[in-house]
Structure 1
Amino acid sequence: MTARALRLGMVGGGEGAFIGAVHRMAAALDGEWRLAAGAFSTDAGRNARTGDALGLDTRRVYESFDAMIAGERALPADARIDALAIVTPNHLHAPMAIAALEAGFHVFCEKPMAMSVAEARAIADAARASGRRFALAFTYSGYPLIEEARARVARGDLGKIRLIQAEYLQGWLSEPIDNAGNKQAEWRTDPARAGLGGCLGDIGTHAFQLAEHVSGLQVESVSAELTTHVPGRRLDDDVSALLRFAGGARGLLKASQVAAGEENGLKLRIHGERGGLEWSQMEPNTLVLRWLDRPAEIVRAGGPGLQDGTAKLLRTPSGHPEGYIEAFANLYRAFAAAIHGGDEDRWFPRVTDGLRTMLFIEAVIANAESDQKWTMVDPGENE
């Protein structure tokens, strides 16, 4: 018997918001989720227009997050939402996630997980106590060839890992558009809404999460520099960090939102004793493998030689490119499987991944603000 489509609620993501629309498309792609309710904006007109454009019952378009939680809890179990997607600025993640979990709803949250390690641990406690699932939108880990890279590293194809380089370059904040009415830039550079890190929290966390996820190694210590290039900006817009991994591997993380001309340049390189791999988000259907003793290989999405776990993430034959929405949809598909209680082997970013990124953010900031060469990253074990 086919599992029913799960009912999704959304907070944030009103008209004009980029990431809310992405979540809705990704959730709907495989038919495993149906948007059923939302509190899309604190602006009543914008909220109503969004609900109308999405074809929602007006009774399920709520004036606030609190009203949605109360209204959905009051519905019969076979009518209320199963999970809540949180697509708000960062300062609302923890209070909303905790409230939703305590109310009995699963949660799919935008990253970074919270404003601090303390908030992240509070979310972890709420998820554990409620028995509900918690997922994070580390979208790039949903790409099929990221899974292929992870599986090949885990199998030992590259030998013992020595070098890990993660780079994420954007240029959209090269000018002070945060002071010129750009709403996406405004909240991302506002410490009260974005948190302690600007570029660090927004895209540096993606690079860090991919580095740990694919390598299978944890960062143990960091030596970092945070820079704010645009005068008057209140948070960093450029990050450089040396990384020391468990097992002796060394790494480099570079993230910037003032690399003029760059679009969405996320790249990952990992080298071991016998070979290396390279993946780029702007060419996501290709994985390059380079060897010490034989010619390089190019592995293509949908092509021959893929691991079984990679093949499960693909929807089209080779030569039919899949991209960002499909990668995001892979996370929603795995999240749905976990909620239904099956296919537990399908990976998606969870509480532990979110906590690791928060521990990394705090370690980088502590190091950048101190005169010590290296700062330890709390392993966050048993969370």
Structure 2
Amino acid sequence: MTRTTANTRSKHQLPFGADYPSRGKLELFHVIKLLSHPYVAQTLGPSGCNLIRVIATIEDEQGGTTAVLAIDNQILPRLGMSGKTLVEARRRCIESGWLHYEPSEGKGIPSRMWVTVPSWVDIKLRHTIHWSFSSGCSSESSSGTSSESSSGCSSQYSRSYIPNPPPIPNTPSPTQRDERVSEGVNEEMEFAKELKDLGIAKSVETARAGLSTCTLQQLRMHLDHFRSKPGAWGPVIVYWRLNSPSLPLLAPDEGWPEPLPGFIAAQRQKAEADRQRAHELKQAKQDALAEQKSQLLFEWERDYGPKLDAMPIEDVLKLCPNDFIRSYCRKKGRKEPIVRHELLRILASQAG
């Protein structure tokens, strides 16, 4: 492929990846307004809508001429969400066609992204964003005739700017909704009992607040972290954490305050005791090895010492396994411990 030179490159084109699309006047503003459509909101979820809104806002701040180049830590403060939530929201936006994303090629290298509009949104109508709410006891039909509502006033939202959006999948029936409500109540009461056992005040209200933000499994992960450090915090810390709109969204081990001084002192004492115990075990192991080596040398000396002393020096030098032991033997003689121990070991191995 021919490399594009600086003189011929479009002002929307960057040196890598796909070309940045040409933006029309107020296009990014219209994209943000599209997020208020019920189907879009239910498809992307609150975190996905927030991500598209922020990316579109950054594009608009750049004049709508270049893609957004940023690492996650630069975007997170504007989103007000955790890193894990950002990853999940980005995945949903990409799969549903609302975000073009080119991941980073390495640590510290920014990713490249911009908002897109899915193909099922009509190109001609997506800019005519408007909500119309008509109400009254009579409405004008398409044929021009007026029809009275027997039940009183009627109201209707207009969705003309998104023609025939796909149906929302897996819409629950009334029976299924009742079952889900019942399951939610059971989860709330079960979790409230766990909180009460931990000594947390207003356990039902706290359970309800936590479940409005996270799932029961996620909240139990926070409780597991709390239980893993007994004495680090009081029950009131769990109360404030679960009632917070943002803390339950963090990882279970993030966002906790500094542990109580008594817990820190106990942890230091425990660490010191563990170090002392490890040192004692290491010393005991070394002593056992030394005792074993001493006993082995005693047996070798008893069984093979006289034989070694009676050997001619020429045979002793031949018995040496390497030049280092042989040199020591010539200088210090066969009585030198480092030489004698090695020669006794060889005699013992030869004896089988």
Output the TM-score relative to the length of structure 1.
0.19
Higher strand residue share: 1
TM-score, structure 2 length as denominator? 0.21
Name which structure has the greater RCO, CA cutoff 8 Å, separation 6+. 1
